[in-house]
Amino acid sequence: MDKLYADKCDMLACMTYTRLDTGSLNILIRLLILILLLAGSVLVSILLGDVSIDAETSLRTLFSPGNSGSDVHDIIWQVRLPRTLIALVVGGALSVSGYILQVLSRNNLADPYLTGVSSGACVCVALGVALGLNFDLIPVAGLLGGLAASLIVAYVSRSHDYQGLSVTRLLLAGVVLSTFLIALTSLVIFLSGNPVLAQGLLYWLAGGISGKSWSELGPGAVYTLLGFGGAFLLSKQLRILSLGKDYAASLGAPVAKIQWSCLLVAVLLCGAAVALSGLVGFVGLIAPHLSRHLFNNDERLQIFTCAVIGGILVILSDLCARTLVASQELPLGTLLSLLGGFFFLALMARDKGEITIR
């Protein structure tokens, strides 16, 4: 009998791409490689750019922050470093937000933007520009719109069970509200008859972090770190919740409190990312999958590796966005979706089995 289950197990291991060798040494090696990859990505992102600076000068400038005044110093310290760190924060925040929503909804297709943050932000940005709002206030309008939309999604998804959330309603409300708000955005653009607005919105939808500096990194990083802290604190309860609401409740988990806390953390992380970068799609969907694929261990490790993978993806995509075409910057979100989509489909085509979520 045991042999039969061992065979079944082997079969499932082949079918399910989440199952890889989970030996602790193996995990440690993968973790080390991932951290080295992150360090490498950060370094390459700082060394390369539109302006060609030789590696030795770049490194010397990077490790001597006090010697300000030169152009090279300004490029490294005021442009490339904050931009790289913003890419890291955006990638990490979106990935962990996506991870939480995927576990919460027990659905692998859940994406941070299903919270309504992005579509709400879009409408408010469009309205802000159409009504001639001060340009500095546009991101604030975006964030407020995002928060309002996520509150609507949360309100519609309330469930009688344990006064918590219905995850099916959450996904449905997210999709429906996003479609509705994007239509509303189009209407605002159409009625305003303003081609500049249309162009601005297109840039927002494509996502990007060009021109961002230390002053924007600070608040974004604080909210993201708060979100990471929340995700780590909730990690054990996330595991319990992944077994289903009723069973979680019978194990003594306060289902409603966990669900609302998870949604709050996901919205906080996604909101921080949207405020920093506009709409950078796909990373919140793909990074949790890669994390599960490589580190099928425990939730804390998955949250950490998810953030690292997301960071690497956005840093490298941003690097490509600003270096692939000379003296022109490609939209980061578009590039990430192109590369990520191709990679993700290739991965799915290779593994034909069911995808398990934990």
Partner 1 sequence: MIEAKSLDIGWNKNDPVLRGVNLSFKPGMITTIAGPNGSGKSTLLKTLTKLLEPLAGDVLLNDQSIKDLSFAGFARKVAYVPQSKDFSAALTVKQIISLGRNTHQMWWSWQMSQDDTLAIDEALLKTGLTELQDRDWNCLSGGERQRTLIAVALAQKADYLILDEPVSHLDFKYQLAVADLLKSLKQSGISVIVVLHDLNLIELVSDRIVLLSKEKKMVAKEGTPAEILTEETLAEVFDVKVKITTLDQRRSFHLIGY
Return residues touching partner 1 (CB under 8 A).
Answer: 1, 5-6, 8-9, 12, 16, 18-19, 106, 233-237, 239-240, 242-244, 246-247, 249-255, 292, 296, 298, 300, 356-358
**At its nearest, how many Å lie between partner 1 and the CB of residue 344?**
19
With respect to partner 1, which residue has the nearer C-beta, 131 or 233? 233
Give min distance, CB of 358 to partner 1, in A. 5
User: Please, what sign has the CA dihedral across residues 280, 320, 221, 74?
Assistant: negative
Q: Which of 158, 156, 173, 159 is nearest to 113 (CA)?
A: 173
Specify the residue for token string 């506009």: 278
Cβ closer to partner 1: 5 or 63? Answer: 5
The CA–CA distances, whole Å, from 254 to 7, 9, 122, 353 equal: 38, 33, 34, 34
How far apart are CB 28 and partner 1 at their closest, in Å? 18
- DSSP per residue, 210-251: TT--HHHHHHHHHHHHHHHHHHHHHHHHHHHHTT-HHHHHHT
Query: Considering the complex, what minimum distance in angstroms separates the CB of residue 27 from partner 1?
Result: 14
Residue 99 C-beta: closest distance to partner 1, Å: 14
Cβ–Cβ < 8 Å for 205, 122? yes
Would you say 43 or 347 has its CB closer to partner 1? 347
Spatial contact of 269 and 311, defined as CB atoms under 8 Å apart: no
Is residue 78 within 8 Å of residue 46, measured between CB atoms? no
Q: What is the DSSP string of 285-331?
A: HHHHHHHHHH--S-HHHHHHHHHHHHHHHHHHHHHHHHHSSTT----
**What is the closest distance, in whole angstroms, from the C-beta atom of residue 234 to partner 1 in the complex?**
7
**Toward partner 1, which CB reaches closer, 18 or 119?**
18
Scan for tokens 């993806």, then name that residue.
313
Rounded to the nearest whole angstrom, what is the least distance from the CB of residue 30 to partner 1 in the complex?
16
In whole angstroms, how close is the CB of 254 to partner 1 at the nearest point? Answer: 6
Amino acid of residue 358: R
Smaller CB separation from partner 1, 124 or 238: 238
Q: What are phi and psi of 165, to 5 degrees?
A: -115, 145
Return the number of the residue (202 or 233) whose C-beta is nearest partner 1: 233
Minimum separation from the CB atom of position 2 to partner 1 (A): 9
The residue to which tokens 């060394």 are assigned:
47
Compare residues 212 and 245 and give the one whose CB is closer to partner 1: 245
Q: Please answer whether residues 274 and 118 qualify as being in contact, where contact means their C-beta atoms are separated by less than 8 angstroms.
A: yes
Best CA proximity match to 242, nearest among 337, 124, 349, 104: 104
Name every residue whose Cβ is closer than 8 Å to that of residue 275 and which is 6 or more positions away in sequence: 139, 142, 143, 219, 220
Q: Which is nearer to partner 1, 212 or 292 (CB)?
A: 292
Residue placing its CB nearer to partner 1 in the complex, 77 or 99 = 99
Nearer to partner 1, 73 or 293 (CB): 293
Q: CB 110 → partner 1: shortest distance, Å?
A: 15
Structure tokens at 189: 């653009």
The span from the CA of 169 to the CA of 153, in Å, is 9
